[in-house]
A = this chain, B = another copy of it.
Amino acid sequence: MTTVVKLGGSVITDKERDETLDGRALDRAADHIADASTDDLVVVHGGGSFGHPHADEHGVSTTDGTQDADGALAIHGAMTTLNRFVVERLRERDVPALPVHPLSAAARADAARLSLPTDQVSTMLGEGFVPVLHGDVVAHEGKGVTVLSGDEIVTHVGKAIGADRIGVCSTVPGVLDADGDVIPRIDAFGDVADALGGSDATDVSGGMAGKVRELLALDRPASVFDLDGLDAFLAGERPGTTIE
């Protein structure tokens, strides 16, 4: 059983303060991961208050790039700092976590064509390690570097390594309808377009509409839940919203 779980950047960082960890939330997430008995686990985390402020400052998104090495290094450096925190908290709980930085591995020929080889991830899993990836900047043909979001990493890696279970731990307990209630199951974007702000909603990285689109494009079911649902997900249940 291979599981890919994403810890949202907004879950493990304090969104109100730049480059500030939400240490209690990260500890809770790390506790659940340490307690999980899943065989092969890949962890992916987002940028939260680490990556996003630097990306905004340098005008870098999933579609707009920079050829300025200082800008690229500012965003990448903030993300590797957050990654170090995540790996350390997991190591404190004896999870055999190893960092995998997408800038070192991935490239885009264009927006639709991502090259992110996963031999390193599969080999780490086979050797008993827990690879920890993260949203990052990656080299992008004609654009310098652009943002590769944690959500896209989840779907790309999940598919590439043939993951059995994919989960996204968000700040909300699932995809919510107009009344704020969790939608248990989503089969098509049209079913939830209104609740998510319409199908034209632009949230290139981090938003719920983008997550749902990414996860619908997968050829396997995925779950969206919050920290309260993480232990249930890791125990094999389907908390929150199932997207299939």
Interface residues of A (CB under 8 A from B): 67-70, 72-73, 76, 87, 91, 96-109, 115, 117, 119-120, 122-124, 126-129, 138-145
Known: A127-B145, A140-B127. A120 touches B91 (CB 8 A): no
Contacts of A73 in B (CB 8 A): 87, 91, 98
Indicate which residue in B72, B120, B139, B145 contacts A107 across the interface (CB closer than 8 Å).
B120
Closest to A96 in B: B69
Contact call A98/B91, Cβ cutoff below 8 A: no
Closest chain B CB from A31 CB (angstroms): 18
Q: Residues of B contacting A100 with CB < 8 Å?
A: 103-104
A-B contacts, 8 listed (Cβ < 8 Å): A68-B96, A72-B98, A73-B87, A106-B120, A107-B123, A107-B124, A117-B117, A120-B139
Contact of A98 among B69, B102, B141, B143 (CB under 8 A): B69
**Judging by beta carbons under 8 Å apart, are A69 and B119 in contact?**
no
Contact between chains at B115 and A139 (CB < 8 Å): no
* Residue from A105, A106, A109, A128 whose CB has the most chain B CB atoms within 10 Å: A105
**B105–A69 contact, CB under 8 A?**
no
| Distance from A73 Cβ to chain B, minimum over Cβ atoms (Å) | 7
User: Do residues B123 and A103 form an inter-chain contact, with CB atoms below 8 A?
Assistant: no
Q: Is the CB of A120 within 8 A of B103?
A: yes
Q: Which of B67, B70, B91, B96 is within 8 Å of A127, CB to CB? A: B67
Given A67-B128, A120-B139, also A103-B108 (CB < 8 A): no
